[in-house]
Structure 1
Amino acid sequence: IGFNEPGSAPDERTRLVTLDTVTRKDAAADFFGEDNVPREAVTMGIATILEAREIALIATGEHKAEIVARAVEGDISQDVAATFLQRHPNATAYLDAAAAAQLTRIHTPWVLGPVEWTEPITERAVVWLAEQTGKAILKLTERDYTEHHLSPLLAKHGAAGPINGTVFNRLRDKIRGRRRLPSRRSVVVFSPHPDDDVISMGGLLRKLWENENAIVVAYMTSGNIAVFDHDVRRHLDFVERAATTLGLDAAAAHRVHADVEASFERKAPGDVDLPAVQELKRVIRESEAIAALESVGLPRSSARFLNLPF
């Protein structure tokens, strides 16, 4: 809450604080690099915050799930300043599903009381039980269920075997092998920007290719804003050295390198790159996308770069 870093005391008020490394790294994207993140900040203290008539804690995204669970359900501790909000009579946490995912009432509601044993809840409970016991699903026993708050589920099915088998088969059916995928068809994959395709569905792309499908991956935007300046420097250094080695126009390569370096020296955090630099970053992303496609077995001819406005 605010910039109350771990170790902040509950009686501290609004003050100047030194930001720790984790906070500065988290803020790096907003400041165009960690080097530009201030090392100090002004924050309301916990005591100041607790004087409010009403407090709203807002969190979104799965990356907040662990700290939300500690803040809402953990012991009150200076290690997590937000735990002090538990002492406030009118504090409410507003969370999306991802941020709330590790709260007991969401993650393991069966340990709190009766639940409706729908298929999704049953599946989650059995997978959780397998993780807790370190056993394969088909090896779970009646004793495992009774010792982990799952006696009602066991009673519903009568024995561990039917539950284990049902959940195992359901999970198995979610894994789509090549035989379940299209064969010898035309497949178009739309990727927001280069590498989303392979990161999100690289295995599926490979299976589709192995099924002799004609695949085209259409990259919607260039993704050049994701390329750091130091990557451009590295590539230009390579081009300049390669030009000398291969007997190409080394002078032209040197001029481009020098012009780009000069633009970087003039550029302030948040400034838009020169058109030439944007093009270089586009080419870098395209080469990365092609390399990623080839890593899962697709030919470079599968790539289509649309370069739509972002």
Structure 2
Amino acid sequence: MRLDLSSHITLERTPKKYYRPENDFEEYNLARFEKIPTAIYEETKRAAKKVANDIVGDMLKKQQANEKFVLGITGGASTQPVYQELVRQHKEENVSFRNLVVFNTYEYYPVVDEAISNLQQLKDHFLNLIDIDPENIFSPDATIEKDLISENCEEFEVDMKRLGGLDYLLLGLGSKGNIGFNMPGSNLHSQTRLVMLDGDSRKDIVTHFGSLEKAPVSAITMGLSDMMQARKITLVAWGEQKAESIHEIVEGPVTDMVPGSLLQTHPEIQVFIDLAAASELTRISHPWLVTNCEWDNKLIRRAIVWLCGVVNKPILKLTNKDYNDNGLSELITLYGSAYNVNIKIFNDLQHTITGWPGGKPDADDTYRPERAKPYPKRVIIFSPHPDDDVISMGGTFQRLVNQGHEVHVAYQTSGNIAVGDEEVIRYISVMRSLLKKANSNDNGLIETYSKMRNYLLNEKTKEDIDSPDILFIKGRIRREEARSADRYVGLSEENVHFLDLPFYETGRVQKNPISEKDVLIVKDFIETIKPHQIYVAGDLADPHGTHKVCLDAILAAVDIIKEDEWFKDCRIWMYRGAWMEWEIDHIEMAVPLSPEELRQKRNAVLRHQSQMESAPYLGDDERLFWQRSEERNKATADMYWKLGLASYEAIEAFVEYKPIR
């Protein structure tokens, strides 16, 4: 069973020659805007294995010389695959880490419970699973008194110097281009110190602590000067959410506003990334600027959309001079004139637009994104949480229902951890009042409600995990909100399904890995409906987020049933969430929304009352979900208009997923 198929989605859009050049000459041309040696891999595991082999190779050389190998390590999701490979080599290949010395590059402060410190996480996932001497583990102290912080930082520096400095530094990458907690504006000569964490930094670590209010407000971090003294540095990054920072670090100027850009000045630095994290590098995003291209429809569309932005013109006004002046003369050679390219791409984009997402019956579907028959279609809309369906594709959802298709919604997780305690207190208070009004004799139930209410009001601390009963209520709150939204859309109650995938039900933000059990639940459901269309959340930005795990569960299920005869008449459309939209060169179906339809979509989203202002995971973005969604949809419509197409109020966009054969 293949459980990570979403990581292959980018491969369909990135020819291998752009990230695996055939020779040194081609590699030089492709990477000429890159100021740091950068290795791009199709899969995270392969990149992690290469980094782990590099670390082990250097360590064993020191081991043979009877010397210590000093390694700087960091927490976070990016380095986890490397640690997993190092542990595997220790257990399966008998690699010994007896001469390893590690320095933890940062530690949260203050940490009341050492079990959730960064060092403890490093121990749980790496250090306690190898044969390192515990005396060789150094870290800032997260529990010291405030007036001893400076002294502790100095001791950390002294220990590093006493052991000869770092032989190797393994770094992850923060959302603002930070390395460790050296945030934008950090002094390039900074040493180990206490730093205050801004909102974005705290949001980066929310998975670790459970919620923003539990995340610490500061951290002790190794300084940029300390890091740059390491003899070798490796930076790893995975996923679309790191793409912009990677572009700034690898191709941008050295600036303290992007602390990772300082790595350009190190003589022994290498960056390892996957294709998603590489998506903003010139050779991936604009390959025509560095090499001869393998021109297909999507790449031509990407180039033309880019050109329109550069010269500030709609498609049909582009000239031969515009193409020649901006590195796209190849297209003029291929098509004979700017007009021929312009009209081709204009028509391609025009053909993505449809008001009939399920296909228009009794119509010529030659240039439509969806086929006319069969009609009506059986449709499954998979929603990772109980509100992603209406947030991300609420207008399309409404159209599918109004146009007579048999629509089913499948909520993959309960979403229970995203309900605030105040919501539960309110519902419990209502239930207690109803029981008392009805003169209920069930004193046990009333007492249970009273205990839960008192616990939430007076006893629960930031570190406490909700009880199964409280999680049940939170899950039911979200379930009934979803039913309310579906009723508003006009969906029959029997077509609303709750899958409650097991990976999610931990009671914590940190979820379990996807399992075969999750996949089989999805597979069985799909086989029950035998749909002609499947809509799935295609958010790939967070490699370890719920949306990606839910997508992997669906794609793994599809991988099992893709050869079934009935499935050959099924298409899979990927939508995106409230934060990002598909780039316009990837969009294959664009569903326009009128002002009235956008208002109806908003009303459906507002049915999810627990996810308005009180939702624990809204983050620092002050916009509510319906606002984020509307602005995203309007921006997509505005982009189509700027390219010279019709002006719509809003557009929801989709990309087709074709099962890997």
1:307 partner amino acid: D
* Alpha-carbon separation, structure 1, partners of 2:212 and 2:476: 25
Pairing 1:34–2:212 present: yes
Q: Tell me which residue corresponds to 1:198.
A: 390
Once the two structures are TM-superposed, the CA of residue 25 in structure 1 deviates from its matched residue by: 2.9
Once the two structures are TM-superposed, the CA of residue 82 in structure 1 deviates from its matched residue by: 0.3
Once the two structures are TM-superposed, the CA of residue 226 in structure 1 deviates from its matched residue by: 2.5
Q: How many residues align?
A: 308
- In the TM superposition, what whole-angstrom CA distance separates every residue of 1:171-218 from its partner, at most 9, and x where no partner exists? 333345421354224333443442233344434433322331222223
Once the two structures are TM-superposed, the CA of residue 95 in structure 1 deviates from its matched residue by: 1.9
Is the Cα–Cα contact under 8 Å of residues 202 and 217 in structure 2 kept in the other structure? yes
* Alpha-carbon separation, structure 2, partners of 1:209 and 1:289: 16
* Alpha-carbon separation, structure 2, partners of 1:119 and 1:184: 31
Give TM-score scaled by structure 2 length: 0.43
- The match for 1:208 among 400, 407, 415 is 400
Is the Cα–Cα contact under 8 Å of residues 214 and 463 in structure 2 kept in the other structure? no
Pairing 1:261–2:439 present: no
Pair 1:111–1:292, CA change in 2 (3 A): farther
Give TM-score scaled by structure 1 length: 0.85
SS of match in other structure, 1:149: coil
Once the two structures are TM-superposed, the CA of residue 158 in structure 1 deviates from its matched residue by: 1.4
Pair 1:136–1:249, CA change in 2 (3 A): farther
State how 1:96-107 maps to structure 2 within 5 Å: 96-107=274-285
Once the two structures are TM-superposed, the CA of residue 133 in structure 1 deviates from its matched residue by: 3.0
Once the two structures are TM-superposed, the CA of residue 56 in structure 1 deviates from its matched residue by: 1.5
Pairing 1:290–2:483 present: yes
Q: Tell me which residue corresponds to 1:90.
A: 268
When structure 1 is superposed on structure 2, of 64-73 and 176-185 the one drifting more is 176-185
Pair 1:263–1:167, CA change in 2 (3 A): same
- The match for 1:168 among 341, 346, 355 is 346
Pairing 1:116–2:294 present: yes
Pairing 1:229–2:421 present: yes
- In the TM superposition, what whole-angstrom CA distance separates every residue of 1:212-233 from its partner, at most 9, and x where no partner exists? 1222223233221222323333
Q: Tell me which residue corresponds to 1:184.
A: 376
1:202 partner amino acid: G
* Alpha-carbon separation, structure 2, partners of 1:71 and 1:46: 14
Q: CA RMSD in A?
A: 3.0
* Alpha-carbon separation, structure 1, partners of 2:310 and 2:490: 38
For structure 2, which runs of at least 5 residues remain unmatched after alignment?
1-178, 361-370, 504-661
* Alpha-carbon separation, structure 1, partners of 2:317 and 2:488: 37
State how 1:230-245 maps to structure 2 within 5 Å: 230-236=422-428, 239=430
Q: Tell me which residue corresponds to 1:69.
A: 247
2:333 partner amino acid: A
- In the TM superposition, what whole-angstrom CA distance separates every residue of 1:221-275 from its partner, at most 9, and x where no partner exists? 32212223233335446x369859xx66799898666433333343444543222
* Alpha-carbon separation, structure 2, partners of 1:292 and 1:190: 15
Q: Tell me which residue corresponds to 1:134.
A: 312
Q: Tell me which residue corresponds to 1:277.
A: 470
Q: Tell me which residue corresponds to 2:411.
A: 219
For structure 1, which runs of at least 5 residues remain unmatched after alignment?
none
Once the two structures are TM-superposed, the CA of residue 124 in structure 1 deviates from its matched residue by: 0.8
- In the TM superposition, what whole-angstrom CA distance separates every residue of 1:143-186 from its partner, at most 9, and x where no partner exists? 32223222222222111111112222223333454213542243
Once the two structures are TM-superposed, the CA of residue 126 in structure 1 deviates from its matched residue by: 0.8
SS of match in other structure, 1:23: helix
Once the two structures are TM-superposed, the CA of residue 94 in structure 1 deviates from its matched residue by: 1.8
* Alpha-carbon separation, structure 1, partners of 2:183 and 2:426: 36
Larger helix percent:
1
Q: Tell me which residue corresponds to 2:497.
A: 304
* Alpha-carbon separation, structure 2, partners of 1:158 and 1:211: 43
